[in-house]
Amino acid sequence: MAAKVEIYTWRTCPFCIRAKSLLTRKGVEFTEYSVDGDEAARDKMADRANGRRSVPQIFINDLHIGGCDDIHALDQYGKLDELLAQSS
């Protein structure tokens, strides 16, 4: 079973697009929650993300990874594939 990956985004956010592109290149299926103009959804995201309201916010197996720079740093240091290999 694959890791459960969730990403909170804005449709036109370049950082969101970049983070989703990385996941797509790795062949990762993910659930996307678009919070464009939806304050209730953004509040839920912030609750899960320790108060962070910027997008994207990424979760792997319910573990808060952070944003675009965070997921790319994990990939650069060889840690992302390890997280993605863990089943949910």
Q: What is the pLDDT of residues 18-37, one digit of tens each?
A: 999 999 999 999 999 999 99
Taking the C-alpha atoms of residue 31 and residue 7, their distance in angstroms, rounded to an integer, is 6
pTM, two decimal places? 0.94
The stretch 46-59 carries a mean pLDDT of 97
Taking the C-alpha atoms of residue 67 and residue 49, their distance in angstroms, rounded to an integer, is 10
Angle in degrees, CA 14, 9, 33, rounded to 5: 155
* pLDDT band per the 50, 70, 90 thresholds, residue 87: confident
Angle in degrees, CA 33, 80, 29, rounded to 5: 40
Q: Which amino acid is at 57?
A: Q
> How is domain 5-85 classified at the architecture level of CATH?
3-Layer(aba) Sandwich (3.40)
